[in-house]
Amino acid sequence: MSYPKELYHGDEGEVSGTMWKGGSAPDLLIGTRSKVHYLATGESTGGQYGLYRWDMAAEPGRGAGAHFHRTMSESFFVLSGTVALYDGDRWADASPGDFLFVPPGGIHAFDNPHGAASMLVLFAPGAPREAYFEELAEIVGSGRRLSEEEWADLYHRHDQYMV
């Protein structure tokens, strides 16, 4: 394997980093159960990746059901608590420092049945996942019930294929 194609062609480098402070307020609340921090969106990284911090409250509910993506990989890194991660074959309780990589087409899911937990979620290349998260937040916040066809449309528009 070799290095990818050059993306920066200058000779001196430039000041262009972006700092996110750990105590920042979340960018999105999904009901009372999930706080999502947009650390680096696909747009802000020029489509290279999207990185999100997902903080889950210790209340009953369900995480993402088993699904796959056609256009991107997804990775999970547990920061705190215990996150149940599904690798397409089995569920495993993941603790701080545990990591799961899922290539495009790989079936996966997550939940937090053991209480509050936090994880980093990485999509590569960077896709506009914020629109999907924001639609979910609106659905949960409004209490709206979607039909099977409406769920299928939502998932299809956001490269999410439920299994």
pLDDT at 162 > cutoff 70: yes
* pLDDT for 59: 78
pLDDT for residue 116: 94
Which domains, and CATH codes, for the chain? Answer: 28-162 (2.60.120.10)
Q: Report CA-CA distances (Å) from 137 to 45, 86, 125, 144.
A: 24, 23, 23, 11
Q: Which of 145, 154, 70, 138 is nearest to 104 (CA)?
A: 70
Q: 41-80: per-residue pLDDT in tens?
A: 999 999 999 999 999 998 766 788 999 999 999 999 999 9
